[in-house]
Amino acid sequence: MTKSTGPGAERLGRPRLFDDDTERRMIMDAAVRVMDRNGYTAMSVADVLAEAALSTSSFYRHFASKDALAEALIRRDGRSARRYLERAVGAAADPLAAFHAWLDALLDLFFAPRRAERVVLFSAADVLGSKTMTEVTEEMRWLLAEPAVEVLRAGHRAGVLNSPAPEADAVSLFALVSQLAWSEHGYRGDRVGTRAHVMRFAGPALRLSPQPGQ
């Protein structure tokens, strides 16, 4: 913990206990815990501040509203997931291995318990109900699809993947995985089934062969 000694602290009449980054992180982490317990609709700013043990002024120093807080949470989780995908792709030896690495890392976001819990939390209907949230979610979808673009482009150049439109192919693959993973008519809760269907559906178009054991 570090004390703030800036002009804002003097204006409030008492020193702040936490710097801006720490205070913002505390609010966001508290909001995740409250949302997990109560859902987004039932969550209030007062609930978040009680959970974080911070004042009202602390909240509005960083966020204009509860929706603004939710947007920041979605973006934070989206950036973290993007880094996870990039690490997986970056460790692959060639375009085919990179494609499978991206697909498996993306499946982790929907099926690995701790990661999937966050995806479900921020994809709930009450979180995504506003136009602004829909725009933020679309932005995050592209953030997660984009690491596949260069993989597909490199594979197409090397002649090991058929992807003349890598951006559209990446978006299509992301949509296929997410819908199969969530839909009651897909493979909800079934990672193996989801992966197999992606390979059966998209594999011929990309001229992919399943990995051994898949």
What is the reported pLDDT for 206?
A: 96
| Of 31, 49, 59, residue with least CA distance to 121 | 31
Print burial letters for 115-139: b (CB count within 10 Å at least 16), e (below 16).
bbebbebbeeeebbeeeebeebbee
What is the separation, in whole angstroms, between the first and last Cα of the chain?
A: 49
Domain ranges of the chain: 7-63, 67-206
Is residue 102 within 8 Å of 96, Cβ to Cβ?
Answer: no
The dihedrals phi and psi of 75, each to the nearest 5 degrees, come to: -65, -40
Domain 67-206 class? mainly alpha
9 pLDDT above the threshold of 90? no
**What is the longest distance spanned by two Cα atoms in the chain?**
67
Q: What is the pLDDT of residue 211?
A: 57
In tens, the pLDDT along 82-113 reads 999 999 999 999 999 999 999 999 999 999 87
Instruction: Report the topology of domain 7-63.
Output: Arc Repressor Mutant, subunit A (1.10.10)
Mean pLDDT computed over 103-126: 79
Residue-wise pLDDT for 20-58, tens only, equals 899 999 999 999 999 889 888 889 999 999 999 999 999
Comparing 109-113, 121-125, 182-186, 197-201, which segment has the lowest mean pLDDT? 121-125
Rounded CA gap, 83 and 131, in Å?
26
d(CA 99, CA 122): 26
| Averaged pLDDT of the chain | 86
Full 3-state SS string of 127-178: CCCCHHHHHHHHHHHHHHHCHHHHHHHHHHHHCCCCCCCHHHHHHHHHHHHH
Q: Which of 10, 34, 6, 42 is nearest to 126 (CA)?
A: 42
